[in-house]
A and B are shown apart, each in its own frame.
Chain A
Amino acid sequence: RKEVEQDPGPFNVPEGATVAFNCTYSNSASQSFFWYRQDCRKEPKLLMSVYSSGNEDGRFTAQLIRASQYISLLIRDSKLSDSATYLCAVSSSGYALNFGKGTSLLVTP
């Protein structure tokens, strides 16, 4: 079983919709959590870190629920430019990351 699991999608949503991505991790000792965005044939780029208290950056909200080993990302008011693959990343060692396979999002006009 892969250490970080994500629903692969694809998620096809209209502009303006709210979309939620889920991620689970298997190592309860994991210490840091992130969401990355990856555009086609590009490198992953950090979207936001994830904290137990929940954190928000504009239209993006991330949440960590340690008891369930669950991480979420909510995107409100989706834009065409949000179309990308969203990667959940978890660090158990503190030195490197374990990634989920990514969830593909397509926002349509």
Chain B
Amino acid sequence: NAGVTQTPKFQVLKTGQSMTLQCAQDMNHEYMSWYRQDPGMGLRLIHYSVGAGITDQGEVPNGYNVSRSTTEDFPLRLLSAAPSQTSVYFCASSDGYNQPQHFGDGTRLSIL
């Protein structure tokens, strides 16, 4: 049982480059979310989705885009990477309203 799978595990980008962080879950969960974790800031919600075709912004959405074309996949796109987006990114999913979230093992992203 793979759970929530994130790729890549590590990535280094130059300022201005774009990239997509991949997230896939095999648990048929409706709800998926993206968080970033920075020292001293804790986990902060970037975007979330309550089902295919439905997404919404979280606490820190600027500079990121998401889409949800299937139940399984929830990619996070950085349109023009900035050093402030250096962080650890976690994808999570849950199987219903008010249910706990289950996390992937993260993507460590550095923007130079």
Which chain A residues have a beta carbon within 8 Å of chain B's beta carbons? 2, 31-32, 34, 42-46, 49, 87, 89, 91, 94-102
For residue B2, CB closer than 8 A to chain A, the reply is no
Beta-carbon contact of A43 and B41 below 8 Å: no
Find chain A residues with CB under 8 A from B103 CB. Answer: 43-45
| List of B residues within 8 angstroms of A44 by Cβ | 43, 90, 103
Q: Could you say which of B63-71, B78-86, B94-102 contacts chain A?
A: B94-102
The count of chain B contact residues (Cβ–Cβ below 8 Å) is 26
Q: Which of B44, B102, B105 contacts A46 (CB 8 A)?
A: B102
* Most A Cβ at <10 Å: residue of B33, B48, B101, B106: B101
Within 8 A of A (CB), among B12-65: 31, 33, 35, 40-45, 48, 50, 56, 58-59
B104 interface hit (Cβ, 8 Å): yes
Cβ–Cβ contact A95 & B100, under 8 A: no
Residues of B within 8 A of A (CB): 31, 33, 35, 40-45, 48, 50, 56, 58-59, 90, 92, 97-106
* Residue contacts A-B, CB under 8 angstroms, 19 given: A31-B98, A32-B99, A32-B100, A43-B105, A44-B43, A87-B43, A91-B98, A94-B97, A94-B98, A95-B33, A95-B50, A95-B97, A96-B33, A97-B33, A97-B92, A98-B59, A99-B43, A101-B41, A102-B42
How far apart sit A102 and B44, CA to CA, in the bound complex (Å)?
Answer: 12
Across the interface, which residues of A come within 8 angstroms of B31, CB to CB? 95-96
Compute how far the CA of A46 lies from the CA of B103 in the bound complex, rounded to whole angstroms: 9
12 A-B pairs besides A32-B99, A95-B97, A97-B101 with CB distance below 8 A are A32-B98, A34-B100, A44-B103, A46-B102, A87-B42, A91-B98, A94-B98, A96-B31, A96-B33, A96-B45, A96-B58, A97-B43
